[in-house]
Structure 1
Amino acid sequence: MNYFCCPIKTTKTNNEKLQFLIRMGTFYNNAVCDIYMGKGAGAKLMQDIRNAKKNVKIVSPYLSPFLIKELIFLHSRGINIKLITSDEIEDFYGYEKNIHKLIIQNKHVDQKAKETRDNLESLSGTLLFAMIGLAVVLFPLMYLLKDLKYGLGFIIVVLIFFARDSVVKKIRNTKVYHYTYKQLFPFKVFVSPNNNGNSFNKTFIHSKIYVIDDEIAYLGSLNFTGSGVKENHETRIRTTDINAVQKIIEEVKDLFFNSNLAERDIQFWGSQLYDEPGN
């Protein structure tokens, strides 16, 4: 499945986009922080995330399925989650799809179409009964009375067969169900410039930002992936500096709500990820 062709959302004019890109960015000086460099840079991060009491905000262009499960578990505990990622998600084309777990399919019944289909199915059953019944009557008549003129009755059987076949096709083409999609918790999937060559905005969200309970913030190189959290040599800065954390929260909020970067449309994307039986 090629998801690179799915619709993207854009609303602002090119001039408004340019103004955002000019001001896009945050600078804060003299923050008090801890610095870590090396393997296992995500150990403390994961500990803080798992101990979250109110909310978790994550910006990471790449995700691993088992870490998505961590967020789903936090959500089930009532923790508010906000996630920003890209459409170059790790393992996206693998067996276990990340975003699939975060998109909920809602199935809706078209009652009028259902009534039409039920009537067609009833008609199909009546025609089948008539076709079989007439054939059962004609065969003994031809055999017992030795009169081939009763064979002309099979013309009616054939006509009933074609009429029923037409009804069956209408049944198959009558779509009783339609589908909509919603997010398990708020997230954005921004389009990579590599997948949207005609986009005015060439910005790739490459930042890795983690905010826990609006009190702890992490910055660095580690993605929200197994390799980033455990295996790779990564850099990680952790701060509880009130002013620094607030600046980081504002940046994440602006990126989530006001960036106007091209993003994947959840309705189209959901239709690609899920089966949608018509009736």
Structure 2
Amino acid sequence: MACVTKCSESQIYIGTKAGGHLRHSLQSAKHTIKIVSPYINQKFLEELLIQATNGLNVILITSEDLYRQYLSQPYNRDIFTILIEQQRHIDQEAQQMAKDGILYHTKIVKFLAVLMLTSLLCYPVIPKPLGLLPFFILALLLVIFFKKIKHYKQMPIYSYTYKSPIKIKIIRDEQTYCKLMHSKIYVIDDIIAYIGSVNFTYRAFEQNYETIVKIIDNSAITDISSEVDRLYNETQFKYIDISVIGRSLYPEPAY
């Protein structure tokens, strides 16, 4: 369903560098930035993350193209390491259990090692058919307890989650509800909105021949901002969970 709004106050920019006014508005944002763009640029994203770190509420909605770039060029991971942070969680109970298990079985191994040494020293005075039997029994027990120690050392104690400093949604293409996410929408502080052909990329802002409309009509801005919020919270869309990318981006040692 389309968002329908009316606008009585707007400014239209056409040509190269049409995004210059938009970029200035983005850099001057005080409270919130909402962006819908199929394509994003790493440098612009870094600036956006700095603003989020400084307390701005940032929403970014982009297309599956971002994920496809990662799949086709996995060596180009910078944009995702900027966008996705790994958080490691420690299972304190499992960690303590592992420590206790290692300590306990290490003591047993040391004790068995002393017994083995004793059995070797006593070997000359023990009747030959039975002389090596204690040694082999102790060796078998050592193997068993070494495996126990290895088990505790490899006990999973870490789990991982992923988050982004900004609110991001990566919308999948070819959906029943939406064939392709192709809009370019920018809302700054809920007092200015831009719509047009300009992607959130350097080429679109500075080099391409683009068209962008700056809207300063309060009623229209409210409608556009609400539409971006609805798009972000829309449950009918299929999204790419950032955890899927995060798990392929970062190692996840369990212990």
Shorter-chain TM-score tier: 0.7 to 0.9
The 1-side partners of 2:79 and 2:89 are apart by: 25
The 2-side partners of 1:231 and 1:73 are apart by: 24
Moved over 6 A (4+): none
Q: What is the match of residue 41 of structure 2?
A: 64
The 1-side partners of 2:20 and 2:122 are apart by: 86
The 2-side partners of 1:117 and 1:169 are apart by: 10
The 2-side partners of 1:117 and 1:88 are apart by: 44
How far the C-alpha of 1:169 sits from its partner, in A, is 4.3
Task: Tell me the SS of whatever aligns to 2:160.
Answer: strand
Task: Tell me the SS of whatever aligns to 2:60.
Answer: strand
How far the C-alpha of 1:30 sits from its partner, in A, is 5.1
Correspondence list, 1:103-252, <5 A: 103-142=84-123, 148=128, 149-193=130-174, 199-252=175-228
Aligned residues: 250
Kept in 2: contact 1:127–1:160 (CA 8 A): no
The 1-side partners of 2:7 and 2:235 are apart by: 24
Q: What is the match of residue 46 of structure 1?
A: 23
Q: Does 1:33 align with 2:11?
A: yes
**Amino acid in the other structure paired with 2:162:** Y
Task: Tell me the SS of whatever aligns to 2:136.
Answer: helix
Q: 1:96 to 1:268 in 2, by over 3 A?
A: closer
Q: Does 1:79 align with 2:56?
A: yes
Question: Normalising by the residue count of structure 2, what TM-score does the alignment of the two structures yield?
Answer: 0.83
Over the aligned positions, Cα root-mean-square deviation in angstroms equals 2.7
The 2-side partners of 1:31 and 1:203 are apart by: 31
**Amino acid in the other structure paired with 2:160:** Y
Instruction: Provide structure 1 residue ranges, at least 5 long, that are not aligned to the other structure.
Output: 1-22, 194-198
Instruction: Provide structure 2 residue ranges, at least 5 long, that are not aligned to the other structure.
Output: none
How far the C-alpha of 1:175 sits from its partner, in A, is 1.2
Deviation by residue 1:172-200 (Cα, 9 ceiling, x = unmatched): 5521122233342322111122xxxxx53
Kept in 2: contact 1:42–1:230 (CA 8 A): yes
Kept in 1: contact 2:36–2:186 (CA 8 A): yes
Kept in 2: contact 1:62–1:88 (CA 8 A): yes
Task: Tell me the SS of whatever aligns to 1:41.
Answer: coil
The 2-side partners of 1:41 and 1:131 are apart by: 79
Task: Tell me the SS of whatever aligns to 1:73.
Answer: helix
The 10-residue stretch of structure 1 (221-230 or 44-53) with the greater mean CA deviation from structure 2? 221-230
The 10-residue stretch of structure 1 (94-103 or 199-208) with the greater mean CA deviation from structure 2? 94-103
Kept in 2: contact 1:190–1:264 (CA 8 A): yes
Task: Tell me the SS of whatever aligns to 1:175.
Answer: coil
Task: Tell me the SS of whatever aligns to 2:132.
Answer: helix
The 2-side partners of 1:267 and 1:146 are apart by: 64
How far the C-alpha of 1:82 sits from its partner, in A, is 1.1
The 1-side partners of 2:161 and 2:151 are apart by: 24
How far the C-alpha of 1:77 sits from its partner, in A, is 1.8
The 1-side partners of 2:156 and 2:197 are apart by: 48
Kept in 2: contact 1:57–1:210 (CA 8 A): yes
How far the C-alpha of 1:94 sits from its partner, in A, is 4.2
